[in-house]
Structure 1
Amino acid sequence: MGENSNVKLPPGFRFDPTDEELVVHFLQRKAALLHCHPDVIPDLELYPHDPWELDGKALCEDNQWYFYSRRMQIRCTSNGYWERMGIDEPVVNSINKRVGMKRYLVFYIGEGPAAIKTSWITQEYRLSGSDSGTAKSSKSSGHSKIDYSKWVVCRVYEKNCSEEDDDGTELSCLDEVFLSLDDMDEISLPLN
């Protein structure tokens, strides 16, 4: 179960939820302020962290990291940013009723047009508008109210770099980085 030492689970426990289970059994319960058992998914703000920093902070299972985070419009870290891929997909339950939405984000290192696309992917799950409600909670320590309908549950993973690209060629992660460098002429090697 990764490095998350706060989680005490029985031997043999594997966390491999479906999209429906992440939304219905975890995110809906969190939004409704109900206890999840086992309570294994931690709260974590994704965007201050680069994806390779999640180990030990989020629930890890088979090189996938799970955590709750608040929905945010700005998704920047100190080394890059998360950018939305494609359109959101509905998450449906066993009777084909929409219970949530899934958004894909990819991590880029750097800024603007010079940023380098990485193989890190986030699947961000949120409740459907009718299911999110307006549940609010006020902590006993006097902190401001938290709107739990704005929470998402995230699954972060690194896509296999040897997967085929759209044009059928296979590139390693290092090949992708080197090909993304625009100014190869400016690179000089030391002479011996």
Structure 2
Amino acid sequence: MERKEFMQHGLVRLPPGFRFHPTEEELVVQYLRRKAFSFPLPAAIIPEIDLRKLNPWDLPCGSGGEKYFFYLRESKSEQKKGRVSYQKAKLGYWKSLGKEKPVLASSHGNELVGLKQVMVFYRGKSPHGSKTDWIMNQYSLSNNELLKSSTQSLLASSKEWVVCQIFVKRRSMKLRVRNSRHEENHQIPATSSSSSSSSCITEDLSDDEESVNGEEAMS
């Protein structure tokens, strides 16, 4: 029996020190697939939301860190065809970034079990909104997984379950390195040798700006 202090709104609330950090395979196989097929979940830890009625900064479950949600979206057959897709939100929209990437299950011989789409949140009306630092990794089941269902209604349905990982993009590594070196330079007393003190900081830093893509978006 679940302890009452670890339950909130019917969901498991992790005790201090515990973090929910599933792999992509676990997220798709153990949670999304079970949700889509109406199977019991390993834990009632991922809430359902309607992304169309919320902004990313208004999401439940507190502030900061990664957040996971189930969302019943329009199926791929109902979405507009094209390389870029949009999903409406309360004060903006989510815009896809690049192509969907496969999610493979190593426990099943690297079988294709799902697809991952990276999306960025824009404030305002599409396609002229202003870009924000909010990122969403949206995972959907592959057609192979849907075919495994005992009912074909999932394929014919106009809606499909997806699981979303939403977070704020991290600051660039260059900025963090500069801040760290700046603090260290002010904390360590200067030595009598000017050459040795100046050698503590190198100016040979990469000029590459942080880009939002499928690999860097993952925390």
Fold-level similarity (TM above 0.5):
yes
Q: Which residue does 1:50 correspond to in 2?
A: 55
| RMSD over aligned Cα atoms | 3.0
Corresponding residue for residue 27 of structure 1: 32
Identity %: 38
CA distance in 1, matches of 2:121, 2:94: 4
Structure 2 gaps of 5+ residues are 1-6, 80-85, 176-205, 211-219
CA distance in structure 2 between the aligned counterparts of 1:9 and 1:116, rounded to whole angstroms = 34
Structure with greater helix percent: 2
Partner of 2:162: 152
Q: Tell me which amino acid in the other structure corresponds to 2:169.
A: K
Report if aligned partners of 1:27, 1:152 keep a CA contact under 8 Å in 2: yes
Normalised TM-score (structure 2): 0.61
Match of 2:93 among 74, 78, 81: 81
Paired letter, 1:68? F
User: For residue 142 of structure 2, what is the aligned residue in structure 1?
Assistant: 128
Residue 115 to residue 92, structure 1, CA distance change in 2 (3 Å): same
What runs of 5+ residues in structure 1 fail to find an aligned partner?
Answer: 138-146, 171-192
Deviations 1:113-132 (A, max 9, x none): 54211111111101101212
Q: What is the identity, as a one-letter code, of the residue corresponding to 2:39?
A: L
Give the greater-gyration-radius structure (CA): 2
**Matched positions, count:** 156
Partner of 2:111: 97
Residue 201 of structure 2 aligns with which residue? none
CA distance, structure 1, for counterparts of residue 30 and residue 39 of structure 2: 10
Counterpart of 1:5, as a letter, is Q
**1:169 shift after superposition:** 4.5
Q: TM-score, normalised by structure 1?
A: 0.69
Amino acid at match of 1:81: Y
Deviations 1:102-153 (A, max 9, x none): 001100011245421111111110110121246589xxxxxxxxx5971001
